[in-house]
Amino acid sequence: MKALDAPQDINADWLSRPSTQVAPDLIGCVLVRQLPDGKILRGLIVETEAYTPDDPACHAYRRRTPRNSVMFGPAGACYVYLIYGIYHCLNVVTDLDGIPSAVLIRALQLETSPPWIDPQKNVKLHRLAAGPGKLCLALKIDLSLNATLLQPVQPLWLEHRSEQFQQQLNESPSNLTQTTRIGLTQGVDLPWRWYLTDSSAVSKRG
């Protein structure tokens, strides 16, 4: 039985809102990864970006294709894709069934170092998941997780903000910064990137 003050798992209903609403709300929530061997990795979400149906930078902007089809489905699924032939990126599918939109998870503050990270390498914990590609490396996320549901007993799920985090944000709303997205050639002026202002785990400072 769970303690009353334990963080609650995020369900599909909560994600069934426009991605521009969900993206800022996901800052401070926790992404939980359960590996095939049962080990759990957890990271605080510190940076997100929103993509919407009428957004030229959205993979689903033109039409439904095999790659982007999960974005057209109901909220609560993962949309994972390969970029530059090297890295994977993790998105949370948002909004109503039939409305293709998603939130890109760009950076996490990991709670503990993944076991496969070489301690000799002297990489800082707060940089291990500082970027969408690094985040997927750190949590062993690849195309095999595309279209899986974000709920417990799956490989990935989400937890709401802790009471403490919510209180701090209420006291200091400027801890959440909104600005333009990174690395795009289209829709560069849309202010749909959010990050935890004082976090050293954000992919770039801005």
Partner DNA sequence: TATAGGATAGCT
Partner DNA sequence: GCTATCCTATAA
Interface positions with DNA (CB under 7 A): 49, 51, 57-60, 62-63, 65-68, 79, 81-87, 89, 91, 102, 104, 131-135, 143, 181-186, 203
12/57 with CB nearer DNA: 57
28/132 with CB nearer DNA: 132
134/161 with CB nearer DNA: 134
Query: Minimum Å distance from CB 73 to DNA?
Result: 14
Q: Which helix (H) or strand (E) holds 72?
A: helix 69-72
Report which of 69, 67, 106 is spatially closest to residue 90, judged by C-alpha positions.
106
The Cα–Cα gap between 144 and 60 comes to: 20
Whose tokens are 């919510």? That residue is 166
Query: Minimum Å distance from CB 69 to DNA?
Result: 8
How many other C-beta atoms lie within 10 A of the C-beta of residue 81? 17
20/165 with CB nearer DNA: 20
Query: Minimum Å distance from CB 147 to DNA?
Result: 11
The Cα–Cα gap between 103 and 15 comes to: 10
Q: Which helix (H) or strand (E) holds 136?
A: helix 132-138
Query: Minimum Å distance from CB 171 to DNA?
Result: 31
Query: Minimum Å distance from CB 121 to DNA?
Result: 10
SS3 state of residue 50: strand
Q: Are 132 and 82 in contact (CB under 8 A)?
A: no
How many other C-beta atoms lie within 10 A of the C-beta of residue 90? 26
26/102 with CB nearer DNA: 102
